[in-house]
Amino acid sequence: RDLMPRTLEGQITMEKTPSYFVTKEAPARISSMSKGTKLIVVVRDPVTRAISDYTQTLSKKPDIPTFESLTFKNRTTGLIDTSWSAIQIGIYAKHLENWLLYFPSGQILFVSGERLISDPAGELGRVQDFLGLKRIITDKHFYFNKTKGFPCLKKAEGSSKPHCLGKTKGRTHPDIDQEVVQRLRDFYRPFNMKFYQMTGQDFGWD
> What is the band of 85 on the pLDDT scale with cuts at 50, 70, 90?
very high
Q: Does 29 appear as a known binding residue?
A: no
Q: Does 171 appear as a known binding residue?
A: yes
pTM of the model: 0.87
**Rounded CA separation 152/163 (Å):** 6
Q: Are strands 108-112 and 142-145 parallel, antiparallel or unpaired?
A: unpaired
Q: Does 126 appear as a known binding residue?
A: no
Q: Give percent above pLDDT 90 in the chain.
A: 62
- Specify the pLDDT at position 30: 94
Summarised one tens digit per residue, pLDDT across range 92-104 is 999 999 999 999 9
Domains for the chain: give ranges and CATH numbers: 20-199 (3.40.50.300)
Mention every residue, 6+ apart, whose C-beta is less than 8 A from residue 118. none
Q: Does 169 appear as a known binding residue?
A: yes
**Rounded CA separation 28/17 (Å):** 16
**Rounded CA separation 65/76 (Å):** 17
Compute the 3-state secondary structure of the chain and give helix, strand, coil in percent, each to the nearest 5. Answer: 45, 10, 45
Q: With b meaning 16 or more CB within 10 Å and e meaning fewer, what string describes 71-85?
A: bbeeeeeeebeeebe
Q: Does 75 appear as a known binding residue?
A: no
Summarised one tens digit per residue, pLDDT across range 26-78 is 999 999 998 999 999 999 999 999 999 999 898 899 899 999 999 999 888 88
